[in-house]
Chain A
């Protein structure tokens, strides 16, 4: 087990190094911050001054090495769009909002999708299965931005039950979290259903039933425990995508999280913020997948032993 953890951790570091190169290259490929920052009437002198001030006149490899040197100690430089803040400060200010929203969306996804998927598998070809399939179909076909706007229209403008947008307590989070969880509920329900169907067909489940084990125990202890590997694997993707996939929802609901920040930073060519937010996303993804790998091994002894 320890060997597996060390191996996975090492892979994670290599991935991180590769990501720094990709992030640095891509952010520079999107264009120069000079064009986003300077006004239309900027003089050649003004352009030259700002280019030097931002260090953009240095060769790319020097800029990359400086970036790496500083990034190791968590310094991604000063934001150019949110002047007066370091890039890390900007990301950290916006992070809690994303974590709160993402956390609630994950909770909603899991609480709804897992029982629904299990129910659909256990009650295969019944009305429950049809309802679960319908929800899954709608979840994967309704565009998130459309759903968000419709939710605002119905529950905020017409009924006045929730605030339309903005950062705040639970009442502000409910609509965006539902909109965000919608797609994930669909995906997780389908995965859980198919994994459960496969396990429920296994010989040891039939044996348990023949031996007279109660249905609830068969489903949740014997079947779900083995079927859970598939949804757990997806959980790493789910957690990551709820963070990074929050861009649209954060825009519709004016939720000041990191998804919206990433888009604003890219549009504003704010390289330090782009780099730090993408690095944060990358680290989050890697850690989530690392934990899933460890969990996977903990659940499935075959992986530990291999």
Chain B
């Protein structure tokens, strides 16, 4: 048939290539590049919440991919609570099953998981919401949580950024923690294949998944790459289908024909905090020399910052101005008037800023007029050093004396733990948390030791807020706290931001995710490969 050897080889080569092409079309792998998580482990309770096993494991509650609102796409089909919000009962889906034949999901698995997540080695963010919680099985598929205090926001614990992921008790009983380390059984549409330390994770789709949902690809590879330039090279060379990378590099990828896909809702809020503003009388941690203890200085700093420039320089034009850090229209206490008044009260106005500084007697009347600005890096917020430098430019321009302090975030956390972090520093609210959680973390003595701003008015409102179970009253109290934060210029609210991923349109056509997890992305089964 083939008289010429080279023609024969060429034909065989073409056949081989065609065969390999059809194989790759049948078995499509989506390759996604992201920063390495802070802790690489299969044990969720040993992470701060940036969990790599999001594609394979679930909590009790899911989220609508468009709105981010809690829904029953998790392991519970329904839930209810008593009038006092101290008992929450979840009905589990009877058809829900663990991977690898570890059986149905039962109340015993939930109780077992709660025990793991609240043990002495837990490092989970938000675990305080589970403190003192007791889970009991009403029957095989009904579990009741009894809480020591009312918790109106208890669903947050079980959602995308929650503190409770459901592990198989049957697997634990047979294999122990080593079983989870080797091959943890989850319940989602994708199941665990392998973890390569320092490199990433691989998942594959579960055929005939109990939910009836179909995944349109066969495998998902999460690759961990720390260096942003390498991540950019990965998408430009089309080695990756989806990448998460700093905003300043996204434009390069988009100019080369790649597409940006945003979360359907804001997933993050950015601010600068005046740490050490402890205004509750008698607080020994208060350093009375801090220049920002004077509200005029806090206002002047706020008015020195051009938020449009912040949006352009730091967020590539993809952010919106944030009126109050912690406040969000999706949660309790949203006060639209504050958003309307923002320009008038916080607008960029150097003359006003200078007048306020003069009125406060800055710098002559201040024994310590220098504003130390923290420059640091934290996983998932690579823009922070640029943010610190930009803040210094704004403050220098108006006449503040500043000092850029470079410090490792962990060391700074140590200072926050001892309430000695007297700096002007960046902070994020990722994902945007319920108001009660945000207020506790950033504005209340309840968030000690790492709170940064405290005042008696907020404490009084907060005391009522945490005890209240009346939705209208809670909304009013949270609104009151946000108004106080706004009026007191307690922080420098900056931006409300969505999570943006860059995709190769030749391989990925669509992905809808609501921005409700601490890495910003979720709903992996909704990734649609291009035809």
Contacts and interface: CB of A to CB of B under 8 A. Distances in A.
Interface of A: 30-32, 34-47, 49-50, 52-53, 81-85, 90, 93-94, 149, 152-153, 156-157, 160, 163-167, 251-254, 256, 260-261, 264, 267-269
A41 B198 contact: no
Contact of B180 (A50, A84, A261): A84
Contacts of B413: 35-36, 38, 40
Nearest to B518: A39
Contacts, number: 143
B49 interface: yes
A251 B227 contact: yes
A49 to B, nearest CB: 4
B124 interface: yes
Given A35-B410, A40-B441, A164 B233 contact: yes
B41 A36 contact: no
B236 A157 contact: yes
Contact of A254 (B225, B414, B441, B448): B225
A163 B131 CA distance: 48
Contacts of B67: none
A49 B197 contact: no
A268 B39 contact: yes
Interface in B201-217: none
Given A31-B414, A37-B39, A39-B49, A256 B225 contact: no
B230 interface: yes
B25 interface: no
A252 B229 contact: yes
Given A160-B237, A165-B230, A50 B123 contact: yes
Contacts of A149: 229-230
Contacts of A41: 125-126, 128, 437, 440-441, 447, 450
Given A38-B413, A251-B226, 12 more contacts: A37-B39, A44-B449, A49-B121, A83-B41, A84-B43, A84-B181, A152-B229, A153-B233, A164-B234, A166-B199, A167-B199, A252-B230
Interface in B224-252: 224-227, 229-230, 233-234, 236-237, 239
Contacts of A46: 122, 127-128
A304 B128 CA distance: 68
B352 to A, nearest CB: 33
A38 B125 CA distance: 8
B82 interface: no
Q: Which of A41, A53, A85, A90 has the most CB of B within 10 A?
A: A41
Given A41-B440, A43-B131, A251-B227, A82 B126 contact: no
Contacts of B123: 37-39, 42, 50
B329 interface: no
Contact of B121 (A30, A50, A160): A50
A40 B121 CA distance: 16
B43 to A, nearest CB: 5
Interface of B: 36, 38-43, 46, 48-49, 120-128, 131, 177-178, 180-181, 196-199, 223-227, 229-230, 233-234, 236-237, 239, 408, 410-411, 413-414, 416-417, 437, 440-441, 447-450
Contact of B177 (A35, A43, A50, A84): A84
A270 B75 CA distance: 34
A269 B239 CA distance: 33
Given A31-B410, A83-B41, A84-B177, A254 B224 contact: yes
A122 to B, nearest CB: 41
A166 to B, nearest CB: 7
Contacts of B48: 37-39
> Which 4 A-B pairs give the minimum distances between C-beta atoms?
A39-B125, A256-B198, A84-B181, A83-B41
Q: Which of A31, A35, A90, A256 has the most CB of B within 10 A?
A: A35
A178 to B, nearest CB: 16
Nearest to A47: B417
Contacts of B36: 264
A144 to B, nearest CB: 13
A256 B408 CA distance: 23
B208 to A, nearest CB: 30
Given A50-B120, A254-B224, A39 B126 contact: yes
A254 B237 contact: no
A246 B179 CA distance: 33
A35 B449 CA distance: 12
B223 A254 contact: yes
A81 B233 contact: no
B46 A164 contact: no
B197 A267 contact: no
B230 A164 contact: yes
Given A157-B236, A267-B410, A152 B126 contact: no
Contacts of B131: 43, 45
Contacts of B230: 149, 152, 164-165, 252-254
Nearest to A97: B198
20 contacts: A36-B410, A36-B413, A38-B413, A39-B124, A41-B450, A46-B122, A50-B121, A81-B38, A82-B40, A83-B46, A84-B177, A157-B237, A160-B237, A163-B239, A165-B225, A166-B199, A166-B223, A251-B227, A260-B198, A269-B410
Contacts of A47: 417, 449
B41 A256 contact: no
Given A39-B125, A153-B233, A252-B230, A82 B197 contact: yes
B414 A35 contact: yes
A2 to B, nearest CB: 42
B410 A156 contact: no
Contact of B233 (A43, A152, A251, A264): A152
Contacts of B199: 166-167, 254, 256
A276 to B, nearest CB: 14
Nearest to A254: B225
